[in-house]
Amino acid sequence: MRSTLIISLLSCFFAAYEAKVFSKCELARKLKAQGMDGYRGYSLENWVCMAKYESNFNTKAFNGKNANGSSDYGLFQLNNKWWCKDNNYSSSNACNIMCSELMDDNIDDDITCAKRVVRDPNGMSAWVAWVNHCKDKDLSKYLASCNL
């Protein structure tokens, strides 16, 4: 009985750190509930498009291959040079968060950090994937079937 309880508790602990891969509509609903539709002038479609091309909606996405040696973390691929802190790179840590916290299935802190990113003068242009795939494009397909 005791070992069953310990295994159950450990399973809950590890489950809390699992990745979540959102569907586009599930992510759109979450972002809308967090006030992202129209945030700093960017439609919900822009946020969903950016997340599609940055992480394919995967909260555990990681890119450690940037030319300057920095890495990108989580759903929005937030960079450890500017936005979050890890132990491998000197950081401005403008979001005041550990990068590892951006790689779990709770995206509230990711959204808070993304809001911080777009408050800078570059806005969503901080995300190269958004510039290359979303900016000035017809993004209606990102919410077409979502019934928001």
Report the C-alpha gap between 82 and 5 in whole angstroms. Answer: 42
Catalytic residue among 37, 45, 72, 101: 72
User: What 3-state DSSP class applies to 102?
Assistant: helix
Nearest to 127 by CA among 60, 42, 58: 42
Catalytic annotation present for 109: no
120 is catalytic: no
Residue among 57, 33, 42 nearest 117 (CA): 42
Running DSSP on this structure, what letter comes out for residue 138?
A: -
Which token pair is 13? 């602990």
Angle of helix 24-33 versus helix 44-55 axis, rounded to 10: 130
Q: Please enumerate in sequence order all residues whose Cβ is within 8 A of that of 33, keeping only pairs 6 or more positions apart, or say none.
A: none
- For residues 79 and 81, what is the distance between their CA atoms, to the nearest angstrom? 5
**Catalytic residue of the set 45, 54, 109, 110:** 54
Catalytic residues: 54, 72
